[in-house]
Amino acid sequence: MVRDNVQKIIGELPQGVELVAVIKGRSTEDILSVIDAGIKTLGVNYVKDVKNLFSLLDRRVNWHYIGIVSLEKHDLLRRKYLEIFDMIETIDSVELAKELDNKCANIGKIMPILIEVNIAKEPQKSGVIPEELEGIVREISSLKYVKVTGLMTMGPLVDDPEKLRPYFREMKRLFDYINILRLPNIEMRYLSMGMSNSYKVAIEEGANIIRIGTKLFEE
């Protein structure tokens, strides 16, 4: 069933859209099943989830961190985890980017990051509000060991994915706007948005990374 789910979704995706499998709460057996079915990138919410998985999979897949990041003793900022992750999708402040820059400088690694945007300005969610995005990107552009490669959003929780279309459309507008600024050290390649119930709408509005969990693993 997992194989069928994965291959059905992959078969639907336009060329150039990357599918990230959200592995939160999934067994090793399930994770191996989606990889065997064609998944190339895992989305990790908790760094503890990679402790055993990385020793098992190593570079067989790409590793994206998609969870909350904080400055307070966050395990993600430890060397062994920074060496694992290929991208961090949830940077939402200059302070966090600077700390990440310092840590990556210590290991000589340039870390691709996405700036998380709180597109609906929901007070309970992390992310940069749209009005502050340009200023934050400009400040981060001066850092040497993190590289902004695009934007990411969660979007509000709604029952009808069509209700997310205006938010996704606004994310694409922001993405294009930052792109045309041609800021140094900024390479706008990825727009990460859309999940199990909304990825089709997100793709229609310009997403080229989608993050799916339930629809891959459900029976």
Q: What is the pLDDT of residues 96-105, one digit of tens each?
A: 999 999 999 9
Per the structure, the count of domains in the chain is 1
Segment 8-38, tens digit of pLDDT: 999 999 999 999 999 999 999 999 999 999 9
Expressed as residue numbers, the domain containing 205 is: 2-217
Residue 32: give its domain's CATH number.
3.20.20.10
CA 41 to chain CA centroid, nearest Å: 10
Dihedral angle sign, alpha carbons of residues 193, 194, 199, 201: negative
Average pLDDT, the chain: 95
Read off the pLDDT of residues 134-160 as tens digits, 9 standing for 90 and up.
Answer: 999 999 999 999 999 999 999 899 999
Q: Do residues 134 and 178 touch, judged by C-beta distance below 8 A?
A: yes
DSSP-derived secondary structure for 74-94? -GGGSHHHHHH-SEEEEE--H
